[in-house]
Chain A
Amino acid sequence: MATPLAPDTPLSAPLDVGFDYTRSLGPVLGRFMTALRERRIEGVRGSDGRVHVPPVEFDPVTSEALSEPVGVADEGTVVSWSWMPDPIAGQPLQHPFGWALVRLDGADTALLHAVDAGSPDRMRTGMRVRARWVDEPVGSIRDIACFEPAGPGAEPRGPAAPPPAGTEPVTMLTTPVHLAYRHSASVQESRYLRALAEGRFIGQRCPACGKVYVPPRGACPADGVPTEEEVELPDRGIVTTFCIVNVPFLGQRITPPYVAAYVLLDGADIAFLHLVLGCAADEVRMGMRVEAAWKPRERWTTSLENVDHFRPTGEPDAPFESYREHL
């Protein structure tokens, strides 16, 4: 935000999304994860006798449900590899490492994981690698911290850590996912948001159907044609429809009951959702005249949040016929 933007540069802002996905594992993957927690690797036997690691729930050829677990070694052979010189967020190692498909001894398919080889010169197809386990396994593919070179010349492993306590099978997996985006407003939305920062509402009229959209959209959703004519709108209008929020929920900023309403500004054809405060919730009605209650000017930004809420003006209600097309 340090660089002043040209007036027509679209606004953009960071958009960071995150969610902890929780997934039930089912019998096959649950068993695999339970074994990982005990620093063991277990595959599943396919219809043709081949051993799949990681396990698959259904045979890829016959589609038969698979259930016979097969223990395999935590050591194996690299069948393909690449080198990651500049690891990105979330990957197993944060210093340069190899990605490898590892066929563990006793398995017929290969597992994808990282190899802490130090340098690409130490990676090759056919190399022997072994799992490096984390100190506190929980039942996740990340209980294998990574693989490391094994075979002649490799340092011997220390004594195996005792399996952790806990005998309940692993049934759930939690995977946090965080992604960072740059969200852009359209040119038209940007003009609308900048007008809000000056305490004004602007919309746009469709050249085909004549409807006025606020916020402006750049293309008429009915006609698919670009919208260009800008229309200044007042900060007052009517409630078209509304609901009384009685249910508390996480992140709620107002104590229920309160009113969330569609507000149709005078001269606009699209209503937007906002709060109606300033009267008892049960006094709000369709057709009620309302006006914007702006936050103090020094708190205005390029946001509709500059309007704290809408409040009744006390004018006579609009007749139903005047807004029936806008419901």
Chain B
Amino acid sequence: MNRTDIAVVGFAQAPQVAETTGTTNGVEMLVPIITEVLETTGLPRREVGFWCSGSSDYLAGRAFSFVSAVDAIGAVPPIVESHVEADAAWAFYEAWVKIRTGQARTAAVYGFGKSSAGDLRRVLALQLDPYTVAPLWPDAVSVAALQARAGLDAGLWSEKDMAEVAARSRADAIANPYAQLGDQVDAATLLDQPYVAEPLRAHDCPPVTDGAAVVVLAAASAAEDLCEHPAWITGLEHRIDSPVLGARELHRSPSTAAAAAAACGDIGTDGVQVAELHAPFSSQELLLRREVGLPDSARVNPSGGPLCGNPMFAAGLTRIGEAASRVMDGSADRVLAHATNGPALQQNLVCVMEGRD
């Protein structure tokens, strides 16, 4: 294997909104942000060595919707392109492998989702076991509520802790022009609200969001030409837990712990200043902080995180882009991004990035 160094050199995202008038193939959201990231990096479109996307036909309600999205990148003369039916963080992983194995020097990775087109709570039931679980149509919020309860019962967090995560996220999101939600509200006020799926209240759940994101990666031989302060990837790993909800300890995430341990290397999470965690539910942030082993000094989700904007299939890639941006803008030297797929944090990816002087 070619053990070349690889960095994130560019990131752009569409506004996270409750509903776009655009199509489910995402072209309207993707054309402006792909144009933006190519202009910011100065990477000519024809020189992108590999394109990879993440999205789901289940959001669009039709087959091969991702093929139409290729309109947004210009596929003639033929390009090298791939797709994952997963959060685009896994497309990012595929692109990283492509560069590491010497098959490309640069890659553009994008994810998109028009979550508003269908009934997201029902659509996500179809990622569950089709024999013994999905026929009951357990909705995504209820499944997350079972996980939140497991942590409450285990004494790992309280409803107040969860409300504090939501309040901090929404305050931070005020400064994020792309965030769907963002306001000053205190945890006590949030705790007065009714449950939507006990023990979850509305603030514990992500909004339904339409959105898209794109990240550009480059090998060392190209990275410094494209970005003044590349975010060098020092670890990128993903692991998975059982699909059987009732066989997992839902208040734990062994796959996150394993991915983080592998991605962080010998020094662990020491010196991680910013962590962007793909925790669509407030309790999941509390769970993930423990499993990753973040130092108390780490700033978690300064973007506001998925609680303030959760574009399906782009939200994980957005975490990587947001964390990398803290290195690229010089405000952090070591950052960690996490992404998830599947019900109740079934599959988890951790990406550690660092700046160099």
Contact = CB atoms under 8 A, between A and B. Distances in A.
Binding between chains A and B: yes
A175 B74 contact: no
A302 interface: no
26 contacts: A10-B22, A21-B130, A23-B130, A23-B131, A80-B147, A80-B250, A83-B145, A83-B198, A85-B197, A90-B122, A90-B136, A110-B247, A113-B136, A181-B118, A183-B61, A183-B62, A184-B21, A185-B23, A218-B28, A218-B31, A219-B27, A221-B71, A221-B76, A222-B74, A223-B76, A224-B73
A9 B34 CA distance: 24
Interface string A51-80: 011101000100000000000000000011
A82 B133 contact: no
Contacts of B139: 84, 88, 91
A82 to B, nearest CB: 3
Interface residues of A, number: 66
Contact of A224 (B71, B146, B195): B71
Given A32-B132, A82-B200, A99-B142, A221 B21 contact: no
B62 A15 contact: yes
Interface string B191-202: 000011111100
Given A54-B133, A224-B75, 9 more contacts: A52-B247, A54-B244, A84-B142, A101-B246, A112-B136, A120-B198, A183-B61, A184-B24, A219-B71
Given A177-B126, A221-B70, A101 B245 contact: yes
A199 interface: no
B64 interface: no
A91 B137 contact: yes
Interface of A: 9-10, 12, 15, 17, 21, 23, 25, 29, 32, 52-54, 56, 60, 79-85, 88-92, 99-103, 109-114, 120, 125, 140-142, 173, 175, 177, 179-187, 189, 217-226
B28 to A, nearest CB: 7
Given A83-B195, A179-B122, A60 B21 contact: no
A52 B130 contact: no
Most buried by B among A89, A140, A184: A184
A219 B45 CA distance: 14
B71 A80 contact: no
Contacts of A186: 22-23, 27-28
Contacts of B131: 23, 25, 29, 54, 141, 173
A30 to B, nearest CB: 10
A224 B45 contact: yes
Interface string B64-80: 00000011111110000
